[in-house]
Structure 1
Amino acid sequence: MSKKNVLFFLLVLSLSFILMTYQSRKGNLFSTHFIDNILNASHAFTKSVTDSIASPFKKLAIRDEDNKLLRKRIDELLMERAKYQEAAIENKRLNELLGLRESRQRYVTAAKALSRGTDQWSHTLVLDKGQKEGVAKDMSAITPTGLAGKIFNVTKSYAKLLLLTDINFSAAVRLQESRREGIISGTGRKNLILQYIPYEEEIKTGDIVITSGLDQLFPPGIPVGFISKIDKKGTGHFQHIEVTPYIEDSKLEEVLIIK
């Protein structure tokens, strides 16, 4: 409020007080009407001042409401974008599985993971396909990157998959370059152990491990992983070799089941 407005307001109040005092002493009707006019003018002025002060706050309230609606719409658009991105990622995975299916004559069905084992050492998945889709015990499960595991339990509508990182998993394998055969075993962690490779065998980190098919469980030639650590002072005459699997079992969502 400007200084002029303040002075005018104080002047009006002072005049009102003086005239009210005068009226109480004289009882003059004219003074009463005059005071009413003064008070009405004072009220109008006060209302104008109050409105001028309140107006910015009303505008702020309206702006705040607009911002809330805008934020809500932005959140809705972000959720829609996330859904589209997830659909695009899933479509890419399914297309990769479809390409893998066309290259595999032993294809049975594609399956989706429904749930995961809760035991920290037990790496298993429940799949949405079972006997009615042709799934049977000991069938292999693969992904576009490599071996995922094997089926160990089947019902009419569901199947349980033992992942290759599980401590109960093992498979006959060979080194792709040297063709040396061995056994791969799960550890309950992210890595695998390659057993029965003699200490005199020349191997190096990065060497690729594939299934050999000699166990009559897994078809030959499926990529398993690559050698990530070598300790020639293993157990007895064999090296201690760690293998990093190609699959990331914690991110596994779909598999292809083959026989």
Structure 2
Amino acid sequence: MLKQFSNFWYKFKEYIVLVVLVIVSLFTLSNNNNNSVKNVKTIAFSSFAFFSNIISNITTSALIKNENVQLRKMNAELMIQINLLRQYGIENQELKRLLALKDTTSLPLIPASVVSKSFNTTTNTFTLNSGQNDGVIPGMPVINDLGFIGIVQNVSENFSIIRTLRNVDLHLTVKDERSRVNSILKWDGDNLILTNIPYTSDIKIGDRIVISELSTIVPVTFPIGYIKSIDYSSTDIFNKVILQPFADLTLIENVFIIKMIQSTQINNLELNFYKKGL
């Protein structure tokens, strides 16, 4: 035991003496009321407080900065989650409406989602994620819960391209649901126009326009839109009637393709021209 103590003392005696002297010095200073000693203590404590405050501020600033970074990260993550939940909510509502439509019709429907959109002045098209493997063929009508959207133009195994209402190559036979007046609907690059309607026709702003029974590729009177304006200033014998579609093409994400009989489409192209320009 004594030998171990001797070895310890031999190795650390300088440090032990230093610690003892420091303790004695501090004790002496704390109990000494000499003015010079008081001044030294004041300066020492002031310096210690000053540097302690600086170190504390630096440490606190670093902690606050780190906390701010973490909080900003959490806020960003919450924003992403909230946005995803909102998108899921919107998609859920749209899907519910589409399911309700499917439940209330006996027509064979193929569900599809819009994977891309091409917007220009004359030929607006959508690409859908349903194709030949799903039973889609050119000429099939496309709808959503608000009404008619367009016609399938081309198909591949898993995708299809549709001509929307805003396409100059798509002409549809439509009618005024109230007065039963028939006309041809087409896109002029700016508006959906009802053509071949004489001045004497019974049409009014707000009238609901649906696909006519005379249509050769859509044998169901799906709604399209309503009459937005009637221009009586034309010198022609026909009115210029502008239609406002029920479905906003810029917002559509999910649709149904109506599975039609191909012979019906192929044998009746004269009024619809859905393959014009192919």
Give the TM-score, by structure 2 length: 0.74
Q: Work out whether residues 225 and 244 of structure 1, in 8 Å CA contact, stay in contact via their aligned partners in 2.
A: yes
Q: Secondary structure, in 3 states, of the residue corresponding to 2:250?
A: helix
Q: Give runs of aligned pairs for residues 9-20 of structure 1, distance below 5 A.
A: none
Separation in 2 of the partners of 1:232 and 1:85? Answer: 45
Structure 1 pair 152/196, CA: closer, same or farther in 2 (3 Å)? Answer: same
Shift of 1:238: 1.0
Shift of 1:88: 1.5
Shift of 1:48: 3.0
Shift of 1:42: 5.2
Paired position in structure 2 for 1:252:
252
- Superposed CA RMSD in Å reads 2.3
Q: Work out whether residues 108 and 135 of structure 1, in 8 Å CA contact, stay in contact via their aligned partners in 2.
A: no
Aligned residues: 224
Paired position in structure 1 for 2:217:
217
Q: Work out whether residues 181 and 203 of structure 2, in 8 Å CA contact, stay in contact via their aligned partners in 1.
A: no
Given residue 200 of structure 1, which amino acid in structure 2 is its aligned partner?
A: T
Paired position in structure 2 for 1:206:
206
Q: Work out whether residues 173 and 215 of structure 2, in 8 Å CA contact, stay in contact via their aligned partners in 1.
A: yes
Q: Secondary structure, in 3 states, of the residue corresponding to 1:178?
A: coil
Query: 1:175-204: per-residue Cα shift (whole Å, max 9, x none)?
Result: 000001001102334x31001111012322
Given residue 201 of structure 1, which amino acid in structure 2 is its aligned partner?
A: S
Q: Work out whether residues 181 and 202 of structure 2, in 8 Å CA contact, stay in contact via their aligned partners in 1.
A: no
Separation in 1 of the partners of 2:121 and 2:175? Answer: 28
Query: 1:193-237: per-residue Cα shift (whole Å, max 9, x none)?
Result: 001111012322101100003131112311011001101243632
Shift of 1:239: 0.6
Given residue 195 of structure 1, which amino acid in structure 2 is its aligned partner?
A: T
Q: Secondary structure, in 3 states, of the residue corresponding to 2:209?
A: strand
Given residue 204 of structure 2, which amino acid in structure 1 is its aligned partner?
A: K
Separation in 2 of the partners of 1:248 and 1:128? Answer: 20
Separation in 2 of the partners of 1:206 and 1:84? Answer: 36
Q: Give runs of aligned pairs for residues 24-39 of structure 1, distance below 5 A.
A: none
Shift of 1:164: 0.5
Q: Which runs of 4+ in 1 moved over 6 A?
A: 38-41
Query: 1:78-106: per-residue Cα shift (whole Å, max 9, x none)?
Result: 21111111111111111111111122222
Q: Give runs of aligned pairs for residues 100-119 of structure 1, distance below 5 A.
A: 100-117=101-118, 119=120
Separation in 1 of the partners of 2:235 and 2:217? Answer: 27
Given residue 222 of structure 2, which amino acid in structure 1 is its aligned partner?
A: I
Separation in 1 of the partners of 2:69 and 2:51? Answer: 27
Structure 1 pair 180/118, CA: closer, same or farther in 2 (3 Å)? Answer: closer
Structure 1 pair 108/220, CA: closer, same or farther in 2 (3 Å)? Answer: closer
Paired position in structure 2 for 1:147:
148
Paired position in structure 1 for 2:53:
52
Paired position in structure 2 for 1:180:
181
Say if 2:231 is the partner of 1:231: yes
Instruction: Give aligned-pair identity as a percent.
Output: 28
Given residue 202 of structure 1, which amino acid in structure 2 is its aligned partner?
A: D
Q: Work out whether residues 171 and 218 of structure 1, in 8 Å CA contact, stay in contact via their aligned partners in 2.
A: no
Say if 2:87 is the partner of 1:86: yes
Note the residue ranges of structure 1 that are not aligned, 5 or more in a row: 1-37
Q: Secondary structure, in 3 states, of the residue corresponding to 1:251?
A: coil
Q: Work out whether residues 206 and 228 of structure 1, in 8 Å CA contact, stay in contact via their aligned partners in 2.
A: yes
Q: Work out whether residues 138 and 150 of structure 1, in 8 Å CA contact, stay in contact via their aligned partners in 2.
A: yes
Q: Work out whether residues 211 and 220 of structure 1, in 8 Å CA contact, stay in contact via their aligned partners in 2.
A: yes
Paired position in structure 2 for 1:61:
62
Q: Work out whether residues 195 and 239 of structure 1, in 8 Å CA contact, stay in contact via their aligned partners in 2.
A: yes
Query: 1:152-195: per-residue Cα shift (whole Å, max 9, x none)?
Result: 11122111110011121110000000001001102334x31001
Note the residue ranges of structure 2 that are not aligned, 5 or more in a row: 1-38, 261-278
